[in-house]
Structures are given as structure tokens and as C-alpha cells.
Amino acid sequence: MASNRAAKSGFAAEAQRKINSKYSEELAQESLEWIKAVTAEPINTSGDTDNFFEVLKDGVILCKLANALQPGSIKKINESKMAFKCMENISAFLECAKNFGVPTQETFQSVDLWERQNLNSVVICLQSLGRKASNFNKPSIGPKEADKNVRNFSDEQLRAGANVISLQYGSNKGATQSGINFGNTRHM
């Protein structure tokens, strides 16, 4: 593990293995190839966890991605390798991702990337952002997002629906549970 923390053991190690098992090298590679296409940065697009982590861990490429999608999104990109400067980059990217329309549940925590705790959540965030890229006239990845399908019913149609008795409600035709005994009666 590339973080400065001690190796996890017991339940924590099991939980970490479960998180790591969800990581998809194919989606990670697709994300890195998309980043390379949008930013024109010469990055290694291999989807293995080590490369994915090394390319993104300092947040510089992520900030360049945000600025490639919408110029000027991130004013200052920290080139320093100091932990808090890298975390600042990652946080700035996450703020931009939310502003670009990535749902909060599809983003990640800075430590997920910096401490390599959950690289899968980083992939999910990049995939989500990749689906939104067409809004910025950039190539996108993943399935096309659905358009809204708003339906407007007239008052007459709504009233007509209220009069329909659905067969799904069912009927017991007056049946009751009286007279039903299970097992033996109680003797006193």
C-alpha cells in the first residue's frame, strides 16, 4: 500500500479488500484515456491501480481536466508535492465536479485518492463527469444521459384515472379468519 499508514488488519483489512474488489481496470483505463483526450496531457492510460493512483494522486491532472472542460474553473494549481497542497488540488477538482453537475453521491473524499483508500469511488466520479463532458463540447464517455421525459396530464385525464378500480387491489369476497384454529387447543 502506498500510503504512510500502517497496514490494516482484521475487520479493517477485510473491508479494504471488499472496497478494492469493486475497482474496474477497464473503467479506470477508459477514464484515463478520456482525461488524456480532453487535456492533451501525455499520461500513462493503463488502468491498473498503481498507475491510476500515480497519475492522479497529486490532483494536478484533475485540475487540468476541470480547466479543460471549463477554462478558468480552478485559478491556482499547486505543483508542489506536499500533502496539503495535493489535497487542495483534489478538493478544488471535487468542487468543480459538483458544479459541473456530478451528483454528490458519485463524488469521492480527498483521502479516497490521496491515501488510496477507495480508488473505485474516484473512477465512479470520473465516469460521471465524463458523461457530462458533452455539455462542454468535449468528448464524453459512458452511456448517454437520459433527457427529461415530462408528462403533462389534463384535469380530465387525472379525474378519469381516479374512477378506475384496479384489479391489483384484490378482494377477499367477505372471507374472515373466524373459526380457524392452528394446532391443539389450550387445556387448563
How many angstroms separate the CA atoms of 84 and 81, rounded?
Answer: 9
In a domain, residue 126? The reply is yes
CATH number at residue 90: 1.10.418.10
Q: How many domains in the chain?
A: 1
Cell numbers for 59: 490532483
Phi, psi of 16 (to 5 degrees): -65, -40
Q: Which of 42, 38, 51 is nearest to 123 (CA)?
A: 51
Q: Examine residue 110 and state whether it is found in any structural domain, yes or no.
A: yes
pTM above 0.85, yes or no: no
Average pLDDT for 8-22: 75
Whether the per-residue pLDDT at 64 is higher than 70: the answer is yes
Please answer whether residues 19 and 120 qualify as being in contact, where contact means their C-beta atoms are separated by less than 8 angstroms.
yes
- Structural domain boundaries, residue 23: 16-134
Task: Say if 117 falls within a structural domain.
Answer: yes
The average pLDDT across 15-22 equals 74
Evaluate if residue 169 carries a pLDDT over 70: no
113: left (phi over 0), alpha (psi -120 to 50) or beta: alpha
Q: 105 in a domain, yes or no?
A: yes
